[in-house]
């Protein structure tokens, strides 16, 4: 394979630029032509494709976001729209495609591969860490550390004012950001979609902790676990203690990628190009037990993301 392209799709994640850099430089090192597609599938359909060189990715390794830009393109589920994408690739003579994104992006990749025979390799790039076949996705580690920074700051104020705080973090239906940031930040309560929780119990526990002299408490809520304002209002009503709500929002999605995400991005980007160079089948790249793996797109969605219940239990015991 001599000519390939790369795109980023879905929500941006720290490390996407480092990953594009790895794809570009690995391709060039193998004397392959490398093209960048702007704005994910939305740009691909419109033929927003440009040639990249080694300098295109200079000074990119440390930058958050994605210089190729990203987009949600709901119409890409339509096979006629996918056909336009296939035609755009063919017009540029592009034989293989690297997509960096989450499960939605991989569904689009599978369609391009199944319906039009395009060789596509998927690299997991999302802060959510919600893909079951891989231990980690590019961007997750940085996002968790950004949330941890927020928890540290909130702790100062909650402690100074004897307050209870509820911090909502992202993750779609996955509680990993909440779990890891909550465990590392010493949060008293971590509310995730994977584990049922009892707000009456939490309210009474917060009340009791006040009576024992513990006057500040931190609740981390994964966005998929419930409505932040309703939960805070319920706890306030039951415990008689005010709950201050913070929604951390997009701040956790930006920022310079940390070491873990840059290394993951480098390994994934390198392997993705190797797969295309060796004319391998379309697949998703992942990491398991620190080994880079490949799985067919048909297996990406098999099984629920494994939630680390042991870490959840340990975090709870340590927070009392």
- Residues marked active site are found at 128
Residue closest to ligand ADP when measured from CB atoms: 104
Question: For ligand ADP, which is the closer residue by CB, 173 or 236?
Answer: 173
What letter does residue 138 receive in the DSSP assignment? B
CB of residue 143 to ligand ADP, shortest distance in Å: 13
Binder of residue 127, out of ligand ADP, ligand F6P, none (CB less than 5 to 8 A by kind) = ligand F6P
CB 54 within 8 A of CB 36: no
State the Cα–Cα distance between residues 293 and 285, nearest whole angstrom. 6
Please name the residue ranges forming H helices in the chain.
Answer: 16-29, 40-45, 79-91, 103-116, 140-161, 176-185, 199-211, 228-239, 259-277, 297-300, 309-318
Candidates 34, 100, 109, 127: give the one binding ligand F6P (CB under 6 A).
Answer: 127
Q: Report how far Cα 132 is from the mean position of its chain's Cα atoms.
A: 12
Count Cβ atoms below 10 Å from residue 186 Cβ, excluding itself.
13
- Residue 254: name the closest of 139, 171, 169 by CA: 139
Residue numbers 136-165 binding ligand F6P by CB under 6 A: none
**Partner that binds at residue 96, options ligand F6P, ligand ADP, none, CB closer than 5 to 8 Å by kind:** none
Neighbours of 132 (CB within 10 A): 16
* Residues making contact with ligand ADP (CB under 6 A): 9-11, 41, 72-74, 76-77, 101-105, 107-108, 111, 126
Among ligand F6P, ligand ADP, none, residue 9 binds (CB under 5-8 Å by kind): ligand ADP
Q: How far is the CB of 98 from ligand F6P (least distance, A)?
A: 19
11 binds ligand F6P (CB under 6 A): yes
Shortest Å, Cβ 221 to ligand F6P: 13
Return the one option of ligand ADP, ligand F6P, none that residue 35 interacts with (CB less than 5 to 8 A, by type): none
Tokens of 160: 């100074």
């Amino acid at each position: 394979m001599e000519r390939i392209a790369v795109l980023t799709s879905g929500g941006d994640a720290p490390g996407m630029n480092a990953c594009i850099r790895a794809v570009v430089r690995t391709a060039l090192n193998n004397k392959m032509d490398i093209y960048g597609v702007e704005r994910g599938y939305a740009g691909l359909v419109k033929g927003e494709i440009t040639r990249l060189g080694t300098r295109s990715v200079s000074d990119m390794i440390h930058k958050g976001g994605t210089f190729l830009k990203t987009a949600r393109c709901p119409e890409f589920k339509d096979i006629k729209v996918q056909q336009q994408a296939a035609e755009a690739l063919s017009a540029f003579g592009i034989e293989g495609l690297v997509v960096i994104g989450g499960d939605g992006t991989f569904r689009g990749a599978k369609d391009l591969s199944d319906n039009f025979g395009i060789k596509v390799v998927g690299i997991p790039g999302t802060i959510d860490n919600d893909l079951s076949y891989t231990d980690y996705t590019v961007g997750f580690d940085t996002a968790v550390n950004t949330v941890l920074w927020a928890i540290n700051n909130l702790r100062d104020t909650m402690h100074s004012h004897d307050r209870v705080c509820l911090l909502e973090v992202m993750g779609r239906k996955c509680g990993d950001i909440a779990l890891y940031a909550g465990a590392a930040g010493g949060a008293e309560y971590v509310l995730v979609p994977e584990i049922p929780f009892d707000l009456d119990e939490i309210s009474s526990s917060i009340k009791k902790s006040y009576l024992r002299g513990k006057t500040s408490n931190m609740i981390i809520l994964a966005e998929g676990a419930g409505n932040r304002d309703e939960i805070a209002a319920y706890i306030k009503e039951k415990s008689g203690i005010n709950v201050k709500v913070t929604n951390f929002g997009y701040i956790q999605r930006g920022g310079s990628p940390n070491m873990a995400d840059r290394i993951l991005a480098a390994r994934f980007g390198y392997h993705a190009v190797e797969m295309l160079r060796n004319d391998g089948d379309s697949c998703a790249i992942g990491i398991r037990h620190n080994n880079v793996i490949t799985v067919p797109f048909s297996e990406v969605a098999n099984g629920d993301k494994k939630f680390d219940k042991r870490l959840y239990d340990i975090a709870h015991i340590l927070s009392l």
